[in-house]
Amino acid sequence: MCKDDTQNNESTDKASTESWSLDQVKALEADLLAKQAQIDHLRSSENRLKQIEASLRESEERYRDLFENVNDLIQCVNPEGRFVYVNRAWRETLRYSEKESESLFMFNILDPDCTVHCLEMFRRLMAGEKIDSVDVTFIAKNGDKIELEGSINTRFSESKPVSTRGIFRDVTHRKHMEDELRALALTDELTGLYNRRGLITIAEKVINVARRLKRHVLLLYSDLDDLKVINDNYGHKAGDDALSALASILKKVVESPM
């Protein structure tokens, strides 16, 4: 091989080596740019995720603050009947602390008189029914009866019940007032015995029951002799006392139809 040929071969090998190295650098550069773009995308996604999480926390805190500061009683009960959330108004009305409420089950606070009714209602809720009007009586920690009105529905996940959501209003005072007004409308203020309206109302109920059971009804009529003489000689206060004494005797010896 001549000297010129050797020099030509060395030049060709050198150019080939330089060309391959440049292509490799470009490929590495492109690969680095792609990876950097991926990293930037991941960072952007991570920042976006943090923003979403912060927004969700803010929304959760806002709704929790709303629930904790409304006057209505709010509760969530799981399918086993355990309270998973109760708000401040619920805890204050029923006299339980937040810690105590975490171990409560629904049947720990139900008035025994409405337990059967509430069991049936709970079964309907677990089946997916929404109950728009609920009347229920809870027993507070101190033994007070709390009359409530509200509505309940159920949250489902994958067709399975997760928890009931109930919103109630304390109507205890209103119920007591209604009972007092009803009593005033049906009873005599002096003696506490049924007045004419009360007699008719109770008599209708008793007669209907007697007819259904094919039983007899006894009507007892009594009169206080010489009431006018008492009023004229001793005053109307003495007459009122005589009527009250007679009413007290009748209450003791006659069972109330109520």
Whether residues 43 and 118 share a domain: the answer is: no
Is residue 33 a part of any domain in this protein? Answer: yes
| Contacts for 158-165: CB closer than 8 Å, 24+ residues apart | 161/79, 161/125, 161/126, 161/128, 162/78, 162/79, 163/76, 163/77, 163/78, 163/79, 163/84, 164/75, 164/76, 164/77, 164/122, 164/125, 165/74, 165/75, 165/76
Is residue 244 a part of any domain in this protein? Answer: yes
Is residue 229 a part of any domain in this protein? Answer: yes
What pLDDT, on the 0 to 100 scale, is given for residue 35? 77
The CATH code of the domain that includes 99 is 3.30.450.20
Query: What separation in angstroms does the CA of 25 have from each of 1, 13, 33?
Result: 35, 19, 12
Separation of alpha carbons 161 and 77, rounded Å: 10
Whether residues 103 and 162 share a domain: the answer is: yes
Average pLDDT over residues 82-86: 94
Whether residues 22 and 78 share a domain: the answer is: no
Separation of alpha carbons 94 and 177, rounded Å: 20
Q: Is 134 helix (H, G, I), strand (E, B) or coil?
A: strand
What pLDDT, on the 0 to 100 scale, is given for residue 148? 96
Is residue 12 a part of any domain in this protein? Answer: yes
Q: How confident is the model at residue 36 (pLDDT cuts 50, 70, 90)?
A: confident
Six-digit token pair at 75? Answer: 């509760």
Higher pLDDT, 15 or 183: 183
Separation of alpha carbons 64 and 70, rounded Å: 10
What pLDDT, on the 0 to 100 scale, is given for residue 258? 44
Whether residues 165 and 83 share a domain: the answer is: yes
Q: How confident is the model at residue 72 (pLDDT cuts 50, 70, 90)?
A: very high
Point out the least confidently predicted range of 38-47, 83-92, 186-195, 233-242: 38-47
The CATH code of the domain that includes 221 is 3.30.70.270
Is residue 62 a part of any domain in this protein? Answer: no
Is residue 113 a part of any domain in this protein? Answer: yes
Report if pTM > 0.85: no
Count the domains in the chain.
3
What pLDDT, on the 0 to 100 scale, is given for residue 177? 86
Separation of alpha carbons 186 and 182, rounded Å: 6
Whether residues 144 and 229 share a domain: the answer is: no
- In this model, does residue 11 exceed pLDDT 60? no
Whether residues 211 and 246 share a domain: the answer is: yes
Point out the least confidently predicted range of 15-24, 44-53, 120-129, 194-203: 15-24
Is residue 3 a part of any domain in this protein? Answer: yes
Higher pLDDT, 200 or 56: 200
What pLDDT, on the 0 to 100 scale, is given for residue 163? 93
Beta-bridged to residue 194, according to DSSP, are 187
Is residue 177 a part of any domain in this protein? Answer: no
What pLDDT, on the 0 to 100 scale, is given for residue 140? 96
Tell which of 118, 148, 172 closes a domain: 172
Range of the domain at 94: 70-172
What pLDDT, on the 0 to 100 scale, is given for residue 94? 96
Q: How confident is the model at residue 53 (pLDDT cuts 50, 70, 90)?
A: confident
Whether residues 133 and 201 share a domain: the answer is: no
Average pLDDT over residues 78-102: 94
